[in-house]
Amino acid sequence: MSLVDRVKKLREDLKINAVQFAKKANVPQATYNRIEKGTGNLTANAIADIIKAFEVNPYWLLFGEGGEEPIFTKQSELSNQITITKDEFIELQRKALRQEDRIRELEREVKRLQNE
């Protein structure tokens, strides 16, 4: 499951529409629509806003780690977590995006080989 898939799953689990999600996450509606369609990019700031607004587990959102449930982190649990700097967070995001890029490249290669 990609980062975009996890964002969409989060919205669906919350049982809210895209307009409500974008508003609460402080993401412009048009930007969120592009993100969910896979034609837009999630910035580090947008990811941080989503994590904060919905109290979602950052490791689950970024990497899908920690299992499907619970994807939400209670505020009391945050005190037991290690904090990272904004630069560290951005680097984690870059690693996640590179991983997704590699998966897309592999998928393209598999399709190419299937067509041969």
pLDDT by residue (tens digit) across 5-50? 889 989 998 899 999 999 999 989 898 998 888 888 888 888 888 8
Global model pTM greater than 0.75: no
2, with CB counted inside 10 A (0-12, 13-18, 19+), is: middle
* The pLDDT value given to residue 18: 93
Which residue bears the tokens 């959102």? 61
* The pLDDT value given to residue 105: 78
Q: Which of 81, 18, 25, 28 is nearest to 51 (CA)?
A: 25
- Please state which of the ranges 1-10, 33-42, 95-104, 107-116 shows the lowest mean pLDDT: 95-104
Q: Which of 53, 50, 76 is nearest to 61 (CA)?
A: 50
113, amino acid identity: L
**Coil, strand, or helix at residue 12?**
helix
* The pLDDT value given to residue 24: 92
72 φ, ψ (degrees, to nearest 5): -95, 145
- At 81, the pLDDT band (50, 70, 90 cuts) reads low
Higher model confidence: residue 78 or residue 1? Answer: 1
Q: What is the CATH number of domain 3-115?
A: 1.10.260.40
